[in-house]
Structure 1
Amino acid sequence: MPSSVLDVFEGYAGLVISGTGLGHVATGWVPKLREMIEDGTTVVMTSQCLHGRVCDRVYNTGRDLLAAGGVVEGEDMLPEAALVKLMWVLGNEPDPERAKTLMQTDLAGEIRRRSV
């Protein structure tokens, strides 16, 4: 998909992406996601894999996402769980850095520290 599909989310406080494998998107999306993050959108990456864990340090695209200003790795949260959690976090935590930390903190058993 072209990165222009992200245009409809401009101005959103948060966005959850269900990436491929370890949590990746097309390389062409990275500049647009960087722009969204710089504009204040909290972007959380999850995996389409049912028992997948996001690790954006393995491949170049993942490292590019991390360097884009802070795509939040959603650990092993299902995309739906990450969406509900992001809505709660953004409704209760105005500080973007604290919101990122909360998204990676197990609050209700939604994140397992270790994949089995």
Structure 2
Amino acid sequence: MSWIILIVSGVLEAVWATALGKSEGFTKLWPSVIFLVALAASMGGLAWAMRGIPIGTAYAVWVGIGAALTVGYAMITGEESFSLVRMLLILGLVGCVVGLKLVGDH
């Protein structure tokens, strides 16, 4: 269950990071509200997941999921440019996150 919570928390990290950018320095109400709600849920889930997953692994997976989804979303929406190199680097990041899950505590 810890891994499921961690993955959802990583997705919420991408939500709050994207909302933070769209809030334009907290001058827009709804992106600011989404940022605060997603931030609280993401941090809470990360904290909960760390009860069953080592901190280094949990944090790396959380950040990796959030970073990959945030940049992926930005490329899909055209806010950032798409390139094959960027896509390969994101896939490498995802591969590292999956690898951390596979090796566990060994």
Instruction: Using CA pairs under 8 Å that are at least 6 residues apart, name the structure with larger relative contact order, 1 or 2.
Output: 2
TM exceeding 0.5: no
Q: What's the TM-score bracket when you normalise by the shorter of the two chains? A: under 0.3
- Higher normalized strand content (fraction of residues): 1
Q: TM-score, normalised by structure 1?
A: 0.26
Relative to the length of structure 2, the TM-score reads: 0.27
Higher helix share: 2
The structure whose Rg is larger is: 2
